[in-house]
Amino acid sequence: MISHLPRYIFNFIFFTLIQILVLNNIQLSGYVNPYLYILFIITLPFEIPGWLLLVLGFSSGMVIDIFSNTPGMHASATVFMSFLRPYVLRIFAPRDEYQPGTIPTMGFYGISWFLRYSIILVFAHHFFLFFIEVFSLTHFFSTFLRVVSSTVFTILLIIVAQLFSQGKKQGR
């Protein structure tokens, strides 16, 4: 797990910068806001202790919050997602359990497993985030539409990001 450390530090900084400098400026027709930075939480190792997962979720959300003037919004959504992660992983566990030394990525467990796993987490995160943001149920369907369209877009970005990092792992 220690050997993954530099890679995750790099991931954290890289995804945060991409989110702040590029993706926060993207807006398609007022409904689509992709949030790629949660890929950092999604791909953390299986063996990570629960408390560390929550703390990392909080800090990655908080960094985004500080840069976008929304204290607490991203942090609460990311913590919620980190909380769900162990349960979602348990539901989708393969028959012979997760192999030691692997991490939850498309390269190790295939696209269909990864899609099911990440769609649930991304949807949970976006749902929490957008409803915390409007803080009311009055525009439920317009907010829900934002959640769904943003989820689709984030998933597309996540797959593209995974395909890029997959090339390095072929030689394992």
Partner 1 sequence: MRNFIRFIIKYHFAILFFIIEAVSLLLVLNYNAYQRSSFLSSSSTVTGGIFKRYNAGAEYLMLRDINEDLAQENAYLRSRMPESFRASRDYFNLVHDTVSKQEFIYRSARVINNSTNRRFNYITLNKGRLNGIEPEMGVISNKGAVGIVKNVSDNYSTVISIINTRLKISAKLKESGFFGSLEWDGTSYQHVYLLDIPRHANVNVGDLVVTSGYSSIFPEGVLLGNVEEVTLDKGASFYRTRVKLSVDFKNLAFVEIIGHNSRDEQIKLEKETEDD
Residue numbers at the binding site for partner 1 (CB under 8 A): 21, 24-27, 30, 33, 50-51, 54-55, 57-58, 61, 65-73, 75-76, 79-80, 82-83, 86, 132-134, 142
Q: Are 158 and 118 in contact (CB under 8 A)?
A: yes
Secondary structure (DSSP) of 18-74: IIIIIGGG--BTTTB---GGGHHHHTS-TT--HHHHHHHHHHHHHHHHHHHT-TTHH
Chain length of the chain: 172
| Closer residue to partner 1, CB minimum distance, 39 or 146 | 146
- Distance of alpha carbon 71 from alpha carbon 133, whole angstroms: 11
Q: How far is the CB of 38 from partner 1 (least distance, A)?
A: 15
Q: How far is the CB of 13 from partner 1 (least distance, A)?
A: 12
| Closer residue to partner 1, CB minimum distance, 88 or 106 | 88
| Closer residue to partner 1, CB minimum distance, 67 or 108 | 67
- CA distance to 14, 26, 60, 152, per residue, from 21 (Å): 11, 10, 15, 21
| Closer residue to partner 1, CB minimum distance, 82 or 162 | 82
| Closer residue to partner 1, CB minimum distance, 25 or 112 | 25
Q: How far is the CB of 81 from partner 1 (least distance, A)?
A: 11
- CA distance to 47, 127, 149, per residue, from 98 (Å): 10, 28, 31
Q: How far is the CB of 95 from partner 1 (least distance, A)?
A: 25
Q: How far is the CB of 33 from partner 1 (least distance, A)?
A: 5
